[in-house]
Structure 1
Amino acid sequence: MNLTEQQFFDDLEKKLWTAANKLLPSLDAAVYKHIVLGLLFIKYVSDAFEERQQELKAQFQDPAHDYYMNPADYPGTYDADVAAELEVRDYYTEKNVFWVPLEARWQTLVGCAQLLPGAALPWPQAGKAEPEKMRTVGWLIDNAMEAIERENPKLKNVLNKTFVNSQIESPKLAELIALFSDTNFHATEHRGQPLNLKAKDILGHIYEYFLGQFALAEGKKGGQYYTPKAIVGLIVNMLQPFKGRVYDPAMGSGGFFVQSEDFIEQHAGLTAKNQGNKASGQISVYGQESNPTTWKLAAMNMAIRGIDFNFGPGPADTLLNDLHPDLRADYVMANPPFNMKEWWNAKLENDPRWIAGTPPQSNANFAWLQHMLYHLAPTGSMALLLANGSMSSNTNNEGEIRKRLVEDDYVECMVALPGQLFTNTQIPACIWFLTRDKANGFNLSKKKRDRRKQFLFIDARQMGYMKDRVLRDFAPADIQKIADTFHAWQQGDGYEDVKGFCASVGLDDIRKHEHVLTPGRYVGAEDQAEDLEAFADKMARLTAQLAGQFTESAKLESEIKKNLAELGYGF
């Protein structure tokens, strides 16, 4: 993203977030997010539909195009016939554009929303007799959602049709619609500089931005559906999912899939060069999520991005009801709930997913890890976020499972993360990178070296910066440094151990530490600058400095007592 694009997004984010909060200041974020994101979704599908419609209209009038409609063939009815042709569904679905019926199109919504509740609405389905109480802006939006779902089976049961029950007054919803209408999602310049962004890019960015803001507003609950973008970006840049099947068994709002698509787009030139042909940049995404509303957020997120997805028929518990039992993915990425206690069921006792041993019934960390490992393709790689305890705990068979994972050579890299990265927990976290192929895997056409019985440890606890008083973030340079270190180690190209940051370790060294995988044990402490002051001289200097501070403290205390005595407060 260049500077102009970044400035454009910064300005747009501030405008929309500030305006939306002004309109709905009293709403709980858990309710508010479905209102705003739902409207953004309708705006997106309608804009995409209209964009395709304008493209078709130009093609119908272009003699050089296959779709050309010669006016001579339609004497007296040309405009009507063109208008009818523009309503042919196949023209849209062939380009993977959602078919948007007339009652759900944004301009229809805008026109109807400006009318007072209870007025005679010029609604395309006005032949239906609707109760007077239903004629609100909330009903209009719900009706549009239902129409979009009805006409697009892929979106069945995905959209939130709860506007009429949201208890938001019609004028407020109408103002929110006007806000999105007045926003230029087709901008071609910003501050006098050209922009090369599509409406899909802009709306997708805003959708993701609002997800992050709602996660911050909701605190702990928000973290259940949103993984900080910097962490997702770090994992994606380390795994580099250029092509293949990508799976997230705890997908939340689908952040890993979005970042994977963004990564491919950003590196399209690189992939074309390495592959010797046009960059395919194609991934297929598979996911699962147990929370119904979060499942819908993810499906909408994919639809806005134009990403084809398979999330199963609906929300379901991944560990108890695996919706993709036969999937073997090239990349598996996830941020499952940390230290889940209430997850066990007796039917899981002899589950084939427990490759390294049955996980403890009191903690699901190693259940998630082994579920992901089970779903890896023979040359697949995976990454998951877990609480730091997973690297060292010996409770309830966890130590034996970790030992088996190391001895069977599934573990590739461990990354210790800094604190305060998450909106919903202060539990220290780490990233596990595992693979089924440490012998001769491939990264595009670059062959990775044989890494059997070797392990990389990265301690990133001191990296990043405080973006505010509460949350830490990674700068792009931090992500690049960690990812470059990982790739250099994998490929045997320019890697070196750095004290306090990274270390390449053999199996024997891990055995000496009883299979504990905490990076700090292996990378050591960063070299400190040599202290040239002799110990005796330093001790004398510091002692004198301390004595001076004690004297100054006593003097200040005496002055304070004197002033208080003059005010009538004695000691």
Structure 2
Amino acid sequence: MSIEKTLFAAADKMRGSMDAGEYKHIALGMLFLRYVSMSFERLHTRLSEDEYSDAEDRDEYLAESIFWVPEKARWSMLAKQSKDAKIGIMIDEAMRAIEADNETLKGALPKVFGKESVDRAMLTGLMDLFSNIKLEGTKDDFDLIGRIYEYCIGEFAGAEGKRGGEFYTPKSIVDTLIEMIEPTKGRVYDPCCGTGGFFVQSEKFIDAHSGQIGDIAIYGQERNHTTFGLARMNLAIRGIFADIRWNSEGTLVKDAFPDERFDYILANPPFNISDWSGELLREDTRWKYGAPPVGNANFGWIQHIHHHLSASGIGGVVMANGSMSSMSGGEGDIRRALVEGDAVDAMVALPGQLFYGTQIPACLWIMAKDKSNGIAKEAKLRDRRGEVLFIDARKMGALVPGSRKQKEMSEEEVASVARAYHAWRGEPDAGAYEDVPGFCKSASLDEIAKHNYVLTPGRYVGAGALEDDGEPFEEKFRRLMGELRGQFAEGRRLEKEIEERLGALE
């Protein structure tokens, strides 16, 4: 069994009746404490052995992007007292001490370990589990920590289920957007950043392409305060410095970056939210293509993202499938204006069953501020004005091993979607673009108008080529007709049997 499943299974037994959402922050908060302690103690040992260094000089740690951990907050000290009846209070004090000595972490760490509802035996068990995880206190740990973070967040998302249209963004979707958008240099923004998954994957993408994380600046906003803290922990543990902001009103009502523009925007906003205070925002300057209906925030999010794109910016947003075809509340008119205004670059229909705990179908909207080849001349992109790329990926994905409901896209499937998009954009080394029946189609505005500006990819890509099974047409026709006649006969027999049984009841 993998370490993720081992940890979750053991933790699941210990958490008892505790709410899954609360337990998530306890488990991941403890993982954070374990890592920063290991990272600190590793450097502390090195400095102690260097006669020209001072192991108690905090600037030494700052220079290495290592958090200063006060003595009482170090894992080695806490682990020795793990069976103490007050261990929960000690951990809370450790979190406060770390925040006090690290400005970037103020208000980010969970202080819930000392609550009466938290079982001390559960905390002791968790400490033993995390003590047995082999960490080096270096960036080599990030893969393991990231796997545990992603697994725990995903599992708890399934346990918590849907809340107000919000869902944990599955790795398949994050990877697809990252591979399509390719945030390598510039300003990256997520208006509803959750636990920071898009930012973490952006770092992995940059690293995989031999780039530098310092080449991007990260911005985000989150409404849920506990999730906001988790995002800051998630980024801090990897040394990713970001400007993440919180307010209780939420991004659409209180935009934390009203005057900022971004090169890349990635977002998975809550779907179909009706209580978003739309009636108070009728005249908002973000609604260039029409005021979103009061009863649904979907086109508020789509326009918010387009509004915040820089002159050559690209944005990707996960949306409910209804956004591609709904006509209610003026949504059809907004969609038409977006298409005619060349705000929509591409549409991707995703496979079903990607989301944890729900089978809700979703799609990707890829937005662009300027699809001409003018401002994008350096990148040698083709002029895409008057066209929209449609990709139908609904047939992709396979069930996750051990799951009857959860699907996941393979790396090759994700890559095939990204390749089609990059080829269509005319990017160097992406190859020549060609329409593929059943998969992708570059449609003109005239074609889209004939479909009344409905943006469902299946309407444009058509059916894929049928595989030749080698059976001659005449033989196949006779065989299928024979099967059809047999089914008709069986239908008549069943109909007669039902009538006889009903007659016996009279």
TM superposition score normalised by structure 2: 0.90
Where does residue 46 of structure 2 map in the other structure? Answer: 55
Aligned residues between the structures: 487
CA distance in 2, matches of 1:441, 1:162: 54
Matched, 1:523 2:461: yes
Where does residue 94 of structure 2 map in the other structure? Answer: 144
Task: Give the SS at the match of 2:183.
Answer: coil
CA distance in 1, matches of 2:326, 2:67: 49
CA distance in 2, matches of 1:390, 1:314: 27
Where does residue 192 of structure 1 map in the other structure? Answer: none
Note if contact 1:222-1:424 (Cα within 8 Å) is conserved in structure 2.
no
- Which stretch of the first structure deviates more once superposed, 417-426 or 233-242? 417-426
Note if contact 1:419-1:461 (Cα within 8 Å) is conserved in structure 2.
yes
Return the offset for 1:52. 2.0
Task: Give the SS at the match of 2:237.
Answer: helix
CA distance in 2, matches of 1:252, 1:470: 24
Where does residue 252 of structure 1 map in the other structure? Answer: 194
Task: Give the 3 Å change call, closer, same or farther, for CA 438–206 of structure 1 in structure 2.
Answer: same
CA distance in 1, matches of 2:142, 2:48: 20
Letter in 2 for 1:469: R
Return the offset for 1:401. 0.9
Matched, 1:479 2:414: yes
Task: Give the 3 Å change call, closer, same or farther, for CA 549–283 of structure 1 in structure 2.
Answer: same
Where does residue 473 of structure 2 map in the other structure? Answer: 533
Task: Give the SS at the match of 1:312.
Answer: strand
Where does residue 418 of structure 1 map in the other structure? Answer: 351
Letter in 2 for 1:327: E
Letter in 2 for 1:537: R
Note if contact 2:271-2:319 (Cα within 8 Å) is conserved in structure 1.
yes
CA distance in 2, matches of 1:256, 1:40: 20
Q: 1:499 aligns with which of 431, 437, 455?
A: 437
Task: Give the SS at the match of 1:399.
Answer: helix
Task: Give the 3 Å change call, closer, same or farther, for CA 537–359 of structure 1 in structure 2.
Answer: same
Where does residue 272 of structure 2 map in the other structure? Answer: 339
Compute the RMSD of aligned alpha carbons. Answer: 2.6
Letter in 2 for 1:205: R
The Cα offsets for residues 286-326 of structure 1, whole Å up to 9 and x where unpaired, read as 11111111111111111112111111255541111111112
Where does residue 561 of structure 1 map in the other structure? Answer: none
CA distance in 2, matches of 1:318, 1:94: 34
Return the offset for 1:225. 5.7
Residue pairs, 1:73-152, within 5 angstroms: 85-114=54-83, 116-117=84-85, 136-152=86-102
Where does residue 36 of structure 1 map in the other structure? Answer: 27
Note if contact 2:20-2:160 (Cα within 8 Å) is conserved in structure 1.
yes
CA distance in 2, matches of 1:282, 1:40: 28
Note if contact 1:379-1:441 (Cα within 8 Å) is conserved in structure 2.
no
Letter in 2 for 1:267: H
Residue pairs, 1:449-460, within 5 angstroms: 449-460=382-393
Identity %: 46
TM superposition score normalised by structure 1: 0.80
The Cα offsets for residues 426-455 of structure 1, whole Å up to 9 and x where unpaired, read as 332110001112112788964211111111
CA distance in 2, matches of 1:204, 1:499: 38
CA distance in 1, matches of 2:485, 2:419: 48
Residue pairs, 1:154-173, within 5 angstroms: 154-165=104-115, 167-173=117-123
Matched, 1:207 2:145: no
CA distance in 2, matches of 1:420, 1:174: 37
Letter in 2 for 1:106: W
Letter in 2 for 1:480: A
Return the offset for 1:199. 2.2
Q: 1:46 aligns with which of 37, 44, 48?
A: 37
Task: Could you tell me which runs of 5 or more consecutive residues in structure 2 were left unpaired when the two chains were aligned.
Answer: 498-506
Task: Give the SS at the match of 2:365.
Answer: strand
Matched, 1:238 2:229: no
Where does residue 542 of structure 1 map in the other structure? Answer: 483
Return the offset for 1:223. 7.7
CA distance in 2, matches of 1:422, 1:357: 30
Return the offset for 1:345. 4.6
Return the offset for 1:54. 2.9
Matched, 1:263 2:232: no
Return the offset for 1:234. 0.5
CA distance in 2, matches of 1:344, 1:223: 16
Q: 2:11 aligns with which of 15, 20, 23?
A: 20
Note if contact 2:154-2:170 (Cα within 8 Å) is conserved in structure 1.
yes
Note if contact 1:44-1:200 (Cα within 8 Å) is conserved in structure 2.
no
CA distance in 1, matches of 2:488, 2:286: 66
Return the offset for 1:179. 1.4
Task: Give the 3 Å change call, closer, same or farther, for CA 542–13 of structure 1 in structure 2.
Answer: same
Letter in 2 for 1:218: E
Where does residue 503 of structure 2 map in the other structure? Answer: none
Matched, 1:352 2:352: no
Task: Give the 3 Å change call, closer, same or farther, for CA 104–539 of structure 1 in structure 2.
Answer: closer
Q: Which has the larger radius of gyration?
A: 1
Where does residue 382 of structure 1 map in the other structure? Answer: 315
Task: Could you tell me which runs of 5 or more consecutive residues in structure 1 were left unpaired when the two chains were aligned.
Answer: 1-9, 62-67, 70-84, 118-135, 188-195, 272-278, 558-571
Where does residue 3 of structure 1 map in the other structure? Answer: none
Task: Give the 3 Å change call, closer, same or farther, for CA 314–296 of structure 1 in structure 2.
Answer: farther
Residue pairs, 1:437-452, within 5 angstroms: 437-440=370-373, 446-452=379-385
Return the offset for 1:264. 0.7
